[in-house]
Chain A
Amino acid sequence: MATVAKKRGTTLGRESVREALVGYAFVFLPIASFLIFFMYPLGYAAYISFFDWGALGKIESVGLGNYRELSHDFLFGKALKNTLRYAVIVVPSQMALGLLLAVIVNNALRFRTFFRAAFYFPAIAGSIAITAVATYILSADGLLNALISAITGETYDHSWFGESDTALQSIMALNIWTTSGTMMLFYLASLQSIPTDVYEAAAIDGAGAWRTFWKVTFPLLKPAHFFVAVVSVIGALQVFDQAFFVSGGGGGPNYSTMTIVLYLYNTAIEGARFGYASAIGIVLFAIIATLTLIQRLLFGRAEVA
């Protein structure tokens, strides 16, 4: 159509120039903002990750020095290990719980809107407000210990966030609970796109509900599994707010809540080691970009959403 219009004469040609100019004007601010605050930072961070770069600017070029230093930095190793441990537990738990909740509310239930709202509710509250509530419930004289004491009959006063053997696990439990509602919504969208005749066929073959789920529903959700897994892994690798809150920013006790992003924050803001912090950011970006690209290439974005 556009080529036809050009041949028709100057009025339409001028009109399409006008349309293009208006188009550029309309996208100008968003594109400028993405270039300045996303694309430029990506390039800048990549660039200064090859330098010893302080608060006052460039100190010296170190080549791959920052990356080499990362590989035997004790605290980064600790942060990496904590974050991976966190992801290994949280991702499958979130997926399983999200799927279970989605299957429940996908049934022909009464009050399904209520159930869906209840399951999704923790996901809407802010991370900081909800972590504050968790620190209270999991404190030495909090609700959880009171319940344990009531059941066992012995006084129990373990400080869940305060002891290094349970601090990270408590954050895991907290986030599994808060984000499983979001995972439920993703699974639900996918569940509802499964055509009914598939279930009818299974019913004719005499498959029960349990068998139908594992043999029909579960495999058909494959794109959703992948999508949810990627979203969940990306979220898990970026865990920050909760760790920052319960440790007051330091990643304690005994660095048990030190995560990659918390370490990045401390390196950049407290330590003013901008080059080194950027190297951490680039490593994280490389992991996230790879995962996102794999997911996009295999399944495309719109199939699940």
Chain B
Amino acid sequence: MSDIPERELPPVPPVVAAEQLAAGGEVAVGAAPGGIPGQDRSERIKRVVVYVLLFFVSLLFFIPFFWSVTTSLKTLPESVGFNLLPSNPSLRAYREALTTYDFKSYFLNSVFLATGVTIFNLFLSSLGGYAFARLRFPGREVLFFLVLGTLMIPNELRLVPVFQMLIDFPVVHTQLLGTYQGYFIINLVTATSLFLMRQYFLTIPRDYEEAAKLDGAGYFKTYWRVMLPLAGPALAAVTILTFQGTWNDFFWPLIIFLGDESKYTLPLGIFQFRTQFYTQWPELMAASVIAIVPIALIYVFFQRYFVAGVTAAGVKG
């Protein structure tokens, strides 16, 4: 056990703590002040008022989404002013957006990039995370410090150097600006994913690996057959964090793909549509709904990993 200095271990491994939180946090129910049993009538009325208020507040959080969905089902004249529901709901705006305005290809590009970046991230961050958590090699601490250091470097600072590199990649002299490869190569793995995987591997008992070692498994086989299957929650968090981040990314697609519409992602497509067809609200809302719904679905089904990922990732906020 001497290979991992004590000070490096966080008091509570982030993913685990966040997971408890995501699971509903039994602990906190007891911790909350108030809620004495045998409350009288005024107490009960107060409770009802609180819940009504809370539902109203959550409604406020939902109204913009509700509004974009209903508008996407309206006609253009209906989209102006205050018409709560479309009188004649139709999917016309979606059809228009997908066929006339190419949102189908923007959608496919978004799926392609987000899936690709997520796969690269999953593999490289788990492989690297395993090495940083378990394998002993000189310079490990320094290299890990370098990984954490990258978290401090803002995207904007990288803009000029990365832009120049993509125009004419050093040594090989290839132009990667405007290509999918260009987007992939600068997004192979994030420090956040790697950090998350390493922290999770540190919490797995060594017995599993010892058993694998006795069976004569090598390092890669141990990683692939033993460690990866045990790291489900961390892998899920990395998947969601990376997929969502790439899906919503505007900055790098703007820099890499601007001008070549065939490679636009949904955010770029929405921006372009907005500048060209200023007030085509139903189509614009349909496009926005297309961009939001996939992430919303992932969120609904994998909420606990979502919360775990965001809380553990921290700086990404």
Q: Which residues of A does B touch, CB under 8 Å? A: 1-2, 16, 19-24, 26-27, 29-31, 33-42, 44-45, 48, 104, 106-115, 117-122, 124-130, 132-137, 139, 141, 143, 146-147, 150, 177, 179, 182-183, 185-186, 188-189, 191-194, 196, 199, 202-203, 209, 212, 227, 231-232, 234-235, 238, 240-241, 244-245, 248, 261, 264-265, 268-269, 274, 277-278, 280-282, 284-285, 288-289, 292-293, 300-305
Contacts and interface: CB of A to CB of B under 8 A. Distances in A.
Contacts of A305: 14, 17-18, 311-314
A137 B64 contact: yes
B161 A40 contact: yes
A160 B59 CA distance: 22
Interface of B: 2-3, 10-14, 17-18, 20-21, 24-25, 27-35, 51, 54, 58, 61-62, 64-65, 67-68, 71, 79-82, 124-125, 127-128, 130-132, 135-138, 140, 143, 146-147, 149-165, 185-186, 188-189, 191, 194, 219-220, 223, 244, 247-248, 250-251, 254-255, 266-267, 270-271, 274-275, 279, 281, 284-285, 287-288, 291-292, 295-296, 299-300, 303, 306-307, 310-315, 317
B161 A302 contact: no
Nearest to A43: B161
A210 to B, nearest CB: 10
Nearest to A35: B146
A114 B59 CA distance: 12
B150 A38 contact: yes
Contacts of A35: 146
A269 B163 contact: yes
Contact of A30 (B128, B138, B311): B128
Contact of A108 (B14, B32, B248): B32
A37 B186 CA distance: 6
A278 B150 CA distance: 17
A272 to B, nearest CB: 10
A199 B143 contact: no
Given A1-B2, A2-B136, A26-B219, 6 more contacts: A19-B137, A26-B223, A34-B150, A129-B266, A192-B31, A232-B317
B296 A132 contact: no
Contacts of B21: 188-189, 192
B314 A304 contact: yes
- Enumerate the 7 nearest inter-chain pairs by beta-carbon distance, A residue then B residue, closest first: A302-B10, A126-B248, A41-B161, A23-B137, A118-B58, A26-B131, A23-B135
Given A19-B219, A34-B191, A240-B251, A274 B160 contact: yes
A197 to B, nearest CB: 10
A137 B68 CA distance: 9
B130 A26 contact: yes
Contacts of B310: 182, 185
Contacts of B132: 27
A45 B161 contact: yes
Nearest to B195: A301
9 contacts: A30-B125, A41-B153, A122-B61, A127-B267, A129-B288, A136-B71, A179-B317, A199-B31, A278-B161
Given A231-B314, A281-B157, A23 B131 contact: yes
A136 B314 contact: no
Contacts of A261: 156
